Every structure is written in C-alpha cells, then in structure tokens.
C-alpha cells in the first residue's frame, strides 16, 4: 500500500465544489453517537 501524500489546498488543480457537485457525491452514515462522511464516484472510462 502506498503511503498517504499530503497536499496543500492551494495546490489542488481541480475545483472541489465542481467535483463534489457533478463528478463525485458525499455519502454520510450515522448513529446516535457519531457520523462519518466520505466521497464516492461512479467511475468511468475516459472518452
């Protein structure tokens, strides 16, 4: 497994609002004590 790579927010090349709004989605699961949110994507083939 590759180690995690830290990326500064100012070094992002993609617009995170566009990615979450149209390319990705946020999934949240919760219990009465805690919650967790993660990103998801449908994936696909390059066109």
Residue 27 in any domain: the answer is yes
Residue 4 in any domain: the answer is no
What is the reported pTM?
Answer: 0.41
Domain of 13?
9-41
Identify the pLDDT of residue 46.
57
> At 34, is the pLDDT very low, low, confident or very high (cuts 50, 70, 90)?
very high
Residue 2 in any domain: the answer is no
Q: Do 20 and 26 form a contact (C-beta atoms < 8 A)?
A: yes
Residue 23 in any domain: the answer is yes
Check the CA dihedral 21-27-39-32 and report its sign. Answer: positive
Strand 24-30 and strand 35-41: pairing?
antiparallel
Residue 20 in any domain: the answer is yes
Count up the domains in the chain and report the number: 1
Q: Is 19 exposed, middle or buried (0-12, 13-18, 19+ CB in 10 A)?
A: middle
Quick check: 42 pLDDT over 80?
A: no
Residue 47 in any domain: the answer is no
Identify the pLDDT of residue 11.
87
Phi and psi for 20 in degrees, rounded to 5?
A: -70, -35
Q: Which 3 state secondary structure label does DSSP give 7?
A: coil
Q: What is the pLDDT of residues 6-33, one digit of tens each?
A: 888 888 888 777 766 677 788 899 998 9
Residue 35 in any domain: the answer is yes
């Amino acid at each position: 497994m590759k180690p995690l790579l830290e990326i500064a927010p100012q070094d992002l090349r993609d617009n995170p609002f566009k990615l979450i709004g149209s390319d990705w989605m946020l999934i949240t699961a919760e219990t009465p004590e805690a919650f967790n949110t993660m990103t998801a994507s449908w994936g696909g083939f390059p066109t």
